[in-house]
A and B are shown apart, each in its own frame.
Chain A
């Protein structure tokens, strides 16, 4: 009976399955990718047989961790330590692969041993590279070929296997080459430590951390879990999946509810025949569970296929590899069943509470509660006919649109902020390192700044470094390094205290000061150094206002960028000729990218990545929302089959019926879209109330965001309405009239 009930409405059941499947597939795929990331990280260091892994404390991710090479010998000298090796891990842009993992190892060290060369020879000299099997496939390169990383050419001398796909998707060069290429002279990202006695691990760990408070020591088995960046990826994967599941769940509840409504009389008959309430409840619930189970199953398959397909793309295969653990499937199953249960519970409860006599008298078809005074005629009234269904559809689509609106708002907020940051000091041009994947990696030699300052047409140049500080006191804070005497620091308008004048001083943004409850005269610890707060400033850019500024020299030392800056702010003599100057600088210094300060933010790789992400989420929301929309419209058209027959008999053309349905669908889309916009704006504002992070978020809602959201809603209406409309218009009038 349960199965037959589901089969009775094939299209609806199918669409519901698709909706759930996409939601579950999103979970499976995203979490698998996040787990794959984790095991990739884990594989990186476990392969080298290290017992402990050391990174810079408070660094967001291993790739931005910086440790001075002087630390190495001191670590070796500690008791219990047998061997210590510094490793560089970074990314490079190479032919067709934007994020090519590059490892810098000492060719004579122990760590490189776990790269088992299966073709060619081992790494011995500078300017040589050995690449992983996967990388060889993706790059279509073999031993003897040349590979360009940024601007340098490396000769491929060997192909290796390690079993860890992060490694097999990348390449290994000598530590010295890596330090030069990634601009980390005399620095490493991490130290791996081999112990004399593994049982001593905890003791040695504590000893190192006591001796070097700015280092984080983790047993290599736990390494991946300690990576903040990874936790971010995981949280994001779950958030996104949650979104897909909620939208899918709303669609699911819609289906179950409709199937219960239209069987009201049937339920009345069953009750009249002596079925108990509990039995009706169980029947509806089982239907819902069965449906979600099938959807979940399809979702798991879809998710696995999606990840496998993604993993085949050469551009990402080096680091995107799903890992499917039993736990993941259990999670998917739990989510699926929870979905079925929650979506089924209300309809089941409703059905079980039906009074048999009333249920038998139920006429269905609706229309009773529709007021003829509603504006918009037939279209609006049709939607009002099934208020619950319309409402649920609106909620589902609204959530999707809201998420997109909120995210676009946040992205635009970032752009505004960075633009304010870039233009605040009266800067005309901003330069960052070329070909970087993330602003945090940007490193420009200070000499470049000096040389630019010497160019004709350039008035002054000012360099800045920044980094994210994380500690218990400041969960997320951007620290900027500015030269205390250069013009650029002037846009940090001091509202309390005074400006920077000496070392070990910091000025704090007013939001940061508020969040940390600090005042002028207090001290803060950042990167394990103590700074005295001498002033509080306000700039209007939330990044700056929730951060702090220290002197450039100190920042360079602290962030491991000696004599390097992250950005250069450039002022020109004649603002009318700014474009000419920009081109000249880029021609002369190919290693940097120069943008007008007003366009700087939009061209930042981080924001482009974020926009791509928002695009991805929007796409997911459109698909899941479109499926839900279609489901609703299919139901709404099916139940009006006879009416459509009447309209056709009265001489309405196919096209008129088609437009009638499309109009309804578009209206539903637009109304949901508007609800979504309101929800999205509220969501964006609510996020700013979060402690610390909230201070950095300053959503900016532009009119085009709303236009975009509306277009998205219309697209949803179109996607959802077209098939049902086509179906309705093709109905044969006689058959429609005979439809029961």
Chain B
């Protein structure tokens, strides 16, 4: 793979919440994302995914550690509002459009104070065209389907041509088909515009539609690997599951039982499992 420049980097990132019982939402998270990459952050609920995304998106300041976006340390930026408006595009779970504004007005929100009126119109048209909703421009969110709403949110995130697009569970409240369509849209945006995209999800199917998967557990990145062929990903998934773990634990016993200890009398079944177990390791 060709070497590309790093656009997002976190170093020993720590975020502690709360005045009462402290919650270490992030506990020394290290990661980096290259320009033009489409990556996933996965992890169980409460592992700190949203927190990580919010730190990268300059929604909050870290307790310690560094976040560097486009070569700039976020802690040295004073006007985070302007930074968000210009460099970051956000897509959240459902219900993140302003219900009183039409699709095109929603897309225009980040452009207030950033882009001239006349250009706004043009760009909004362009973006709605990109997400395939040009004929829905005048509709209110309540008149759109869940998938359509998220498309508007993607268009809105791209409004100011940001450096990075951050999506926190963008498919969280959608059915499988709609979720798949949103991911395809993100892929397209990544491909055609070279947009760097970080998606947070706990859905493996969604994660596999990206290029790299970072796994977060208890506020730390515990795994980081490129997405491979579906078979390899399936095996990887199996290995991480309880069943996979127990299969691996009893590896010797299983091999013996199916007669792999000795080479004699290898069945078709046995061949299959051997391949499986090799793959698992």
Partner of B96, one of A368, A646, A654, A733: A646
* B247 contacts across to A, CB distance below 8 A: none
CA distance A365 to B59 in the complex (A): 24
B44-73: contact bitstring with A at CB < 8 Å (1 yes, 0 no)?
000000000010010110000000000000
CA distance A384 to B100 in the complex (A): 9
Q: Is the CB of B112 within 8 A of A646?
A: no
Flag whether A459 is at the interface (Cβ < 8 A).
no
* A120 contacts across to B, CB distance below 8 A: none
Q: Is the CB of A367 within 8 A of B85?
A: no
Q: Is the CB of A650 within 8 A of B156?
A: yes
CA distance A370 to B141 in the complex (A): 11
Q: Is the CB of A732 within 8 A of B60?
A: yes
* B101 contacts across to A, CB distance below 8 A: 372, 377-378, 381
A648-661: contact bitstring with B at CB < 8 Å (1 yes, 0 no)?
11111110100000
Flag whether A643 is at the interface (Cβ < 8 A).
yes
Known: A381-B100, A733-B59. A368 touches B81 (CB 8 A): no
* A385 contacts across to B, CB distance below 8 A: 99-100
Partner of A651, one of B86, B98, B100: B86
CA distance A367 to B114 in the complex (A): 27
* A180 contacts across to B, CB distance below 8 A: none
Flag whether B110 is at the interface (Cβ < 8 A).
yes
Name the residue of chain B whose CB is nearest to the CB of A379: B100
Name the residue of chain A whose CB is nearest to the CB of B17: A734
Name the residue of chain A whose CB is nearest to the CB of B86: A651
A697-740: contact bitstring with B at CB < 8 Å (1 yes, 0 no)?
00000000000000000000000000000000000111001000
B49 smallest CB distance to A (angstroms): 13
Q: Is the CB of B59 within 8 A of A650?
A: no
Q: Is the CB of B60 within 8 A of A733?
A: yes
CA distance A449 to B99 in the complex (A): 76
Flag whether A647 is at the interface (Cβ < 8 A).
yes
Tell me the B82-122 residues at the A interface (CB within 8 Å): 82-86, 88, 90, 92, 95-102, 105, 109-110, 112-114
Known: A381-B101, A733-B59. A651 touches B85 (CB 8 A): yes
Q: Is the CB of B81 within 8 A of A365?
A: no
A621 smallest CB distance to B (angstroms): 30
Flag whether A642 is at the interface (Cβ < 8 A).
yes
Q: Is the CB of A650 within 8 A of B110?
A: yes
Tell me the B104-154 residues at the A interface (CB within 8 Å): 105, 109-110, 112-114, 138-142
CA distance A368 to B113 in the complex (A): 28
Which one of A382, A642, A643, A647 has the highest number of Cβ atoms from chain B below 10 Å of its Cβ? A643
CA distance A635 to B97 in the complex (A): 20
* A732 contacts across to B, CB distance below 8 A: 60
CA distance A378 to B109 in the complex (A): 11
Known: A372-B140, A651-B82. A367 touches B100 (CB 8 A): yes
* A642 contacts across to B, CB distance below 8 A: 95-96
Name the residue of chain B whose CB is nearest to the CB of A644: B98
* A733 contacts across to B, CB distance below 8 A: 59-60
Known: A642-B95, A656-B112, A734-B60. A650 touches B84 (CB 8 A): yes
Flag whether A454 is at the interface (Cβ < 8 A).
no
Partner of A647, one of B88, B92, B109: B109
* A96 contacts across to B, CB distance below 8 A: none
CA distance A652 to B108 in the complex (A): 12
Q: Is the CB of A649 within 8 A of B84?
A: yes
Q: Is the CB of B90 within 8 A of A650?
A: yes
Q: Is the CB of B54 within 8 A of A378?
A: no
CA distance A652 to B54 in the complex (A): 16
B117 smallest CB distance to A (angstroms): 13
Q: Is the CB of A372 within 8 A of B109?
A: no
Name the residue of chain B whose CB is nearest to the CB of A370: B100
Known: A372-B138, A650-B156. A378 touches B84 (CB 8 A): no
CA distance A367 to B85 in the complex (A): 25
Interface of B is mostly: loop
CA distance A651 to B83 in the complex (A): 7
* B138 contacts across to A, CB distance below 8 A: 372
* A98 contacts across to B, CB distance below 8 A: none
CA distance A656 to B112 in the complex (A): 10
A444 smallest CB distance to B (angstroms): 67
* B81 contacts across to A, CB distance below 8 A: 648, 651-654
Flag whether A366 is at the interface (Cβ < 8 A).
yes
A280 smallest CB distance to B (angstroms): 27
* B142 contacts across to A, CB distance below 8 A: 367-368
Q: Is the CB of B60 within 8 A of A737?
A: no
B157 smallest CB distance to A (angstroms): 8
Name the residue of chain B whose CB is nearest to the CB of A374: B100
A165 smallest CB distance to B (angstroms): 55
Q: Is the CB of B110 within 8 A of A372?
A: no
Name the residue of chain B whose CB is nearest to the CB of A732: B60
Q: Is the CB of B54 within 8 A of A734?
A: yes
Q: Is the CB of A365 within 8 A of B99?
A: yes
A26 smallest CB distance to B (angstroms): 37
* B160 contacts across to A, CB distance below 8 A: 651
Q: Is the CB of B57 within 8 A of A643?
A: no
Name the residue of chain B whose CB is nearest to the CB of A366: B99
* B156 contacts across to A, CB distance below 8 A: 650
Known: A367-B141, A367-B142, A734-B60. A652 touches B100 (CB 8 A): no
* B113 contacts across to A, CB distance below 8 A: 656
Partner of B110, one of A378, A382, A651: A651
* A384 contacts across to B, CB distance below 8 A: 100
Name the residue of chain B whose CB is nearest to the CB of A381: B100
Q: Is the CB of A647 within 8 A of B100?
A: no
* B57 contacts across to A, CB distance below 8 A: 649
Tell me the B8-57 residues at the A interface (CB within 8 Å): 54, 57
Q: Is the CB of A370 within 8 A of B54?
A: no
CA distance A365 to B95 in the complex (A): 10
CA distance A367 to B110 in the complex (A): 20
* A649 contacts across to B, CB distance below 8 A: 57, 59, 84, 90, 92
Which one of B54, B85, B99, B113 has the highest number of Cβ atoms from chain A below 10 Å of its Cβ? B99
CA distance A276 to B212 in the complex (A): 55
Q: Is the CB of B84 within 8 A of A367?
A: no
Q: Is the CB of A367 within 8 A of B92?
A: no
CA distance A372 to B137 in the complex (A): 11
Name the residue of chain A whose CB is nearest to the CB of B166: A649
CA distance A367 to B144 in the complex (A): 13
A506 smallest CB distance to B (angstroms): 67
A491 smallest CB distance to B (angstroms): 61
Q: Is the CB of B102 within 8 A of A372?
A: yes
CA distance A649 to B139 in the complex (A): 23
CA distance A653 to B81 in the complex (A): 6
Q: Is the CB of B141 within 8 A of A651?
A: no
* B92 contacts across to A, CB distance below 8 A: 646, 649, 737
* B98 contacts across to A, CB distance below 8 A: 378, 643, 646-647
* A377 contacts across to B, CB distance below 8 A: 101, 105
CA distance A535 to B96 in the complex (A): 79
* A381 contacts across to B, CB distance below 8 A: 100-101
* A368 contacts across to B, CB distance below 8 A: 99, 140, 142
A350-373: contact bitstring with B at CB < 8 Å (1 yes, 0 no)?
000000000000000111101010
* B102 contacts across to A, CB distance below 8 A: 372
Name the residue of chain A whose CB is nearest to the CB of B160: A651
Name the residue of chain B whose CB is nearest to the CB of A368: B142
* A378 contacts across to B, CB distance below 8 A: 98, 100-101, 105
* A366 contacts across to B, CB distance below 8 A: 99
- In the assembled complex, 8 residue pairs joining A and B whose CB atoms fall closer than 8 Å, in A order, are A367-B141, A367-B142, A368-B140, A370-B100, A385-B99, A646-B90, A649-B92, A650-B156
Other than A377-B101, A646-B90, A646-B92, give 18 A-B pairs with Cβ distance below 8 A. A365-B99, A366-B99, A367-B99, A368-B142, A370-B99, A377-B105, A378-B105, A381-B101, A382-B100, A385-B99, A643-B99, A648-B81, A651-B84, A652-B85, A652-B109, A653-B81, A732-B60, A734-B54
The 8 A-B residue pairs with the shortest CB-CB distance in the complex, in nearest-first order = A651-B85, A367-B99, A381-B100, A651-B84, A650-B110, A653-B81, A372-B102, A368-B142
B-contacting residues of A (Cβ < 8 Å)? 365-368, 370, 372, 377-378, 381-382, 384-385, 642-643, 646-654, 656, 732-734, 737
